[in-house]
Chain A
């Protein structure tokens, strides 16, 4: 099976702009989670989507949003970018089917490195 793919891999934006990142999960996986990684805060959970519904959310402002489509692909959007939003954004997919061994195991994509100038 193909792994988790994320596009674009690198992105440079300026303050005040908005950005949309895309994630395609492993075929058959229905859960997609998003994480932000920065040197100061480490890896932080943003949100999880399952069957097109947001199931859980981390402690991030409303500028961070996401959605999931019927084919399980997910996008996250950051509006009104700030310098502190510069980070590696990671997407993870998981089966979340209880009939699957290790149904909660997450598999990560290569990430999108966002730089805000």
Chain B
């Protein structure tokens, strides 16, 4: 099956700093999403980005499907950005199966 690796596993930032989170996947996919999980467990959609580049405020993401990786950029980080960021990939061939990475745990210090 598809393997998903996220790096770094943990990240500590000072408020205002920028960061890049990476997601590598082992096979071709036609579905890729980035999520932020808040302390109560809710997965919040950040980007649906099987390919290309998208931006939403201080966050942006790029997926290079041919090279099997995606990047999530966080600029001018805030304490509210703290939490776990997940990359999830899948192929919708017949059924629909999504594989999650292990996540990047981000802590932003005031």
Which residues on A are within 8 Å of B, measured CB to CB? 31, 33, 35, 37, 42-45, 48, 50, 55-58, 88, 90, 92, 94, 96, 102, 104-108, 110-111, 113
| Chain B residue nearest in CB terms to A42 | B102
Given contacts A111-B41, A111-B42, contact A106 B100 (CB under 8 A): no
Given contacts A42-B102, A102-B48, contact A108 B97 (CB under 8 A): no
A42 to B99 CA separation, bound complex (whole angstroms): 10
Complex interface residues of chain B between 70 and 110 (CB less than 8 A to chain A): 86, 88, 90, 92, 94-100, 102-103
Interface residues of chain B: helix, strand, loop or mixed (majority):
strand
CB <8 Å contact, B98 and A110: no
Can you offer 17 A-B residue contacts whose CB atoms are under 8 A?
A42-B100, A42-B103, A45-B97, A45-B100, A55-B94, A55-B95, A57-B95, A58-B97, A90-B43, A92-B43, A96-B96, A104-B30, A104-B50, A106-B88, A108-B43, A110-B40, A110-B42
A106 to B32 CA separation, bound complex (whole angstroms): 10
CB <8 Å contact, A56 and B103: no
Q: Which of B40, B96, B100, B102 counts the most A-chain CB atoms under 10 A from its CB?
A: B96
Q: Within the complex, what minimum Cβ distance (angstroms) separates B80 from chain A?
A: 18
Given contacts A88-B41, A104-B30, A105-B48, contact A43 B100 (CB under 8 A): yes
CB <8 Å contact, B96 and A48: yes
A92 to B30 CA separation, bound complex (whole angstroms): 18
A102 neighbours in B (Cβ, 8 Å): 48
Known contacts A35-B100, A104-B31, A104-B90; 14 additional CB pairs below 8 A are: A42-B102, A45-B97, A45-B98, A55-B95, A96-B96, A104-B50, A104-B92, A106-B98, A107-B45, A108-B35, A108-B43, A108-B45, A110-B41, A113-B41
